[in-house]
Amino acid sequence: MLPTAAAAAMPWDRRAPEREGPPSAWSLLPEDLAARGCPGRPEHVFARLQRVRTWQPDRLFVAREIRAWLADHTDQSLPAILERHPSYDGSTKLVLGLADGQRIEAVHMPRHEADHRVTYCVSSQVGCALGCTFCATGAMGIVRNLTAGEIVGQVLALMRDLGPRCGESVHLVFMGMGEPLHNLDHVHRAVTVLCHPEGAGLSPWRITVSTAGLVSGIERLARMVPRPQLAVSVNATTDAARSATMPVNRAWNLARLRQALDAWELKRHERFIFEYVLLAGVNDTLEDADRLADWLGDLRHRHNVNLIPMNEHPHSPFRGPGEQRLQAFAARLHQHGCFITVRRSRSRDVQGACGQLVKQREAAVG
C-alpha cells in the first residue's frame, strides 16, 4: 500500500462551488430555517418545501409572509430535466441540467407491477477523479462536486417528474456519476435532509452509497448518523489487476479495504453490497471467483454480490464477458456460499452505464 501522503497528493478533493447569493432551499433543515429567521413554524415550512407531491411552484401553501421570506432568503430552483430516455425494461435515464450549465445523469427504476418499490440512481459529482479505466464518468475527469442542495434537488426533481406513485417506497442508490465518498459532507447532508420525517421521509436503510473503495471515506461514514447502507465496487481480485483498472487501489489496496469493512459494524438487518463488474479476459476467470470468495471470508454471510457485465462504451477498450463466462463465474461463487445477483445494467439500450450520455454529448460539442 502507498503511504497516506500519496493519497493526499492525489486530486481527490474538488469542493462544491461556493454559492453566491442565497442558499438552496433544499439543503436547509428546520433548525436552519429557524436560525435564519424564517417566520412561521420551521417544521411546517420545511415539510411544505420538501413534500413534492403536493408542491407546486406557484402554490407553496404557506402564508404570504413566509413565501416572501423564502423568495428573499433562499434559492428554490430545482435541477432541470433536459432529456428523458425511456428503456424497454421500464426504467428511464434522465439528463439533468444544473444552474451553471453542468449536466448530470440519474435513472428512475420502477420494479415490476407487484413490487411497490422504485429506485432512483443518482449522481454525487460532475465527473469523477478516480479514473477507473472501464467507466465513462471516469473518462471525464472531475469537474466538480454537487452541493447538498443539488443532490436533494435532483431527487425532488425526479419525484415530481416520475413518481413515486401512491404507496411506492423510494430507494436511493448513489451509483450515478461520481464517487460519493469524495463528496461526503454534501452527500451526508443530503441524506440527512431526505431522511427527515417531516420531509421526503426516506429511510437510511433504503439509501445505498456506493464507493470504489475510498477507505478514508468508509471510515468516516461508518460513524455518521444517519448512516446509509454501503456498497463497495471490488471489480478485481489481485492488487495488480485492481490497481491497473482502479487507481484508487494504489492508495488503499484490497487488504486495507477489507480491514475497513471489518471495522464497519453491521446492524442486525444490514448487509454489505459488493459490486463486481466483469471485464472479459481481465477479472472473469474461475480463479478470480475463488479469490473473491476468499477475500470476502467471513463476510460471506452478511453480503450480496452484484455481478455486472461490463456495459461497453467507446471510452473504454474493455468488453463484457459473454453469457457462458458470466454463468460459470456466478455458479462458482454460489458453490462458495455467496449470495449473488446478476445485474444486467438497467436501461442498457439507452446508454445505461453512468456518465455515458453526458460524456457522449461532451464529445459531440467538441
Q: Using CB under 6 A as the criterion, which residues of the chain lie in contact with ligand SF4 when the complex forms?
A: 128, 130-132, 135, 137-138, 178-179, 212
Q: How far is CA 252 from CA 4, 216, 284, in A?
A: 9, 9, 22
Contact flag: residue 215 with ligand SAH (CB under 6 A): no
Question: Which residue, 136 or 170, has its beta carbon nearer to ligand SF4?
Answer: 136
CB neighbour class for 298 (10 Å; exposed up to 12, middle 13-18, buried from 19): exposed
Residue nearest to ligand SF4 (CB): 138
Q: Which is catalytic among the residues 105, 150, 179, 275?
A: 105
Question: Which residue, 38 or 136, has its beta carbon nearer to ligand SAH?
Answer: 136
Grid cell for residue 238: 489481485
DSSP string, 152-212: HHHHHHHHHHH-PPTTPEEEEEE-SSS-GGGGHHHHHHHHHHHT-TTTT---GGGEEEEES
Alpha carbons 288 and 247: distance in angstroms, whole number: 19
Helix residue spans in the chain (DSSP H): 4-9, 30-35, 42-50, 64-73, 136-140, 148-162, 184-194, 215-221, 239-245, 254-263, 286-296, 323-335, 356-364
Question: Which residue, 77 or 216, has its beta carbon nearer to ligand SAH?
Answer: 216
CB atoms within 10 A of CB 104: 30
Question: Residue 134 CB, nearest distance to ligand SF4 (Å)?
Answer: 7
Q: Which is catalytic among the residues 128, 132, 338, 354?
A: 354
Question: Residue 274 CB, nearest distance to ligand SAH (Å)?
Answer: 9
Contact flag: residue 351 with ligand SAH (CB under 6 A): no
Question: Residue 105 CB, nearest distance to ligand SF4 (Å)?
Answer: 11
CA angle, 177 as apex, 135 and 104 as ends, to 5°? 125
Is 219 annotated as catalytic? no
Question: Which residue, 45 or 94, has its beta carbon nearer to ligand SF4?
Answer: 94
Question: Residue 22 CB, nearest distance to ligand SAH (Å)?
Answer: 31
Is 105 annotated as catalytic? yes
| Nearest residue to 97 via CA among 84, 110, 109 | 84
Contact flag: residue 208 with ligand SAH (CB under 6 A): no
In this chain, which of 95, 140, 308, 358 binds ligand SAH, going by CB under 6 A? 308
Binding site for ligand SAH (CB under 6 A): 134-135, 175, 179, 210-212, 233, 235, 275, 277, 308, 310-311, 313, 345, 353-354
Catalytically active residues, by annotation: 105, 354
